[in-house]
Amino acid sequence: MENQEPEYAQILELTRQLVRKRQQASSFQAGQDPVPYAGRVYDEREVEAGVRSMLDFWLTLGPEGDALERSLATALGVRSSHLVNSGSSANLVAVSALTSHSLGARRLCPGDEVITVAAGFPTTVSPIIQNRAVPVFIDNDPSTGNARVEQLEDAFVPGKTKAVFMAHTLGNPFDLAAVTDFCQRHDLWLIEDNCDALGSLYDGRPTGSFGDLSTQSFYPPHHITMGEGGAVNIVRNARLKVLVESFRDWGRDCWCASGCDDTCGKRFGWQLGELPEGYDHKYIYTHLGYNLKPTDPQAAIGRVQLEKLATFVSARSSNWNTLRRNLADLEEHVDFMLPTHATGWSEAGFSWQPGSPEVDPSWFGFMMVVKENAPFSRTGLANALDQHKIGNRMLFGGNLVRQPALVRLRREYEKNPAAGAQPPFRVVGDLTGADRLMNQAIFVGVYPGLNDEQLTFMSDCIRQACHGQSVAKTVV
């Protein structure tokens, strides 16, 4: 029921007025105002929702969270969604859920292997190692940023490989047809890291709806935001719902929502482990879990953001296409990202492999790979963009095998391998594609907050950097 107190209505009206006042358009000063690669896009509705939730003062995850979880599951076409406090936590919970003893022979045990891709964001890989499993790295295709799926069979070891876990790079769906077929043939779990791809479609279906589990991030650069936040999506298997909730909520066995008691009807009727019969079910822990829930005011903001997802996705696509058209004359020096299954680009659009599934990315960024024979380097281009205050990023951690954390793990193992110990990770092939992305890839923003003037300025600066004398070729 709507609160009828006049002060309540006054607070909300003043909130709306203040946000509108602060967001009054100001002219863009090229070269003086920054052009971020990503950022929050919101209006008074998000702020009002957050203030309204704070006035109700249900701080822990509650009714707003329940509503967002239902709406997100509906948007993705999955069985259920479960909010967490970040995309990294979502990945941790998803992998941890597969370690549950209740999964029997399919359980992910210490020493089991999980196939992933070498170049990407580290928290896709970290939960594998944190759960004492072994990541197996296959290479990236530099044109799509995604896995070279032809290496999947080379990575597979019967009895050791238990799962595949990889991300849709920069919103570009990986080859889900090949990956799902591989997983089904070998009875493997599939986790889709969908953190950069909310709104992407593969063969007409949302990414995040193909695997057994998928994950989302709602950090400000992503497609929608709660400030911090994320979600784990249960695609089909209802048994995984209980496990995800348990690992998210301290590892408890009880499934009562916060503030609820005795949902099962026998709160004091359980006997588990070596606890006395009748021990309070709310304090029985089946797993060694975490507390990774977000807050209800965050969820209130997320609900408004989710309502805008289709508009955001459309804007990202439009901005990506604008940059691609504007920079078409740079193909001599730069390779531009292609959607999975695409063979090329022209003013008319993409050309596709015959008979391939339709791919419609919800782009997270606009990636360029500087060619080896270009008269400038990726670092030179990045410096030029920085000088013009244009936000840019590498492809996250690049080839993760080269990162200090994994180099240290490898060296510690090589220096003193314990008897029978597993190497910390395994590599398939020489990872030349991942290395190329690490050394030569850069991306700029396409987020919905960019306007035509900013996109034109970005394009002009990139073109000037590629054709002009101000960007020297430097050693990377």
Which positions are annotated as active-site residues?
222
CA distance 351 to 341: 9
Specify whether the CB–CB gap between 240 and 250 falls below 8 A.
no
Structure tokens at 403: 């990162």
Is 426 in contact with 410 (CB distance < 8 Å)?
Answer: no
Residue 348 CB burial class (10 angstroms; 0-12, 13-18, ≥19): exposed
CA nearest to 324, candidates 333, 315, 335: 335
Contact yes or no for 447/219 (Cβ under 8 A): no
Sheet (strand 441-445) strand order: 334-336, 365-370, 441-445, 392-393
Looking from the CA of 409 toward its CB, the CA atoms found within 13 Å total: 18
Contacts of 466 (CB under 8 A, 6+ apart): 330, 333, 334, 374, 376, 381
Let me know if 285 is exposed, middle or buried by CB neighbors in 10 A (0-12, 13-18, 19+): middle
CA distance 424 to 43: 46
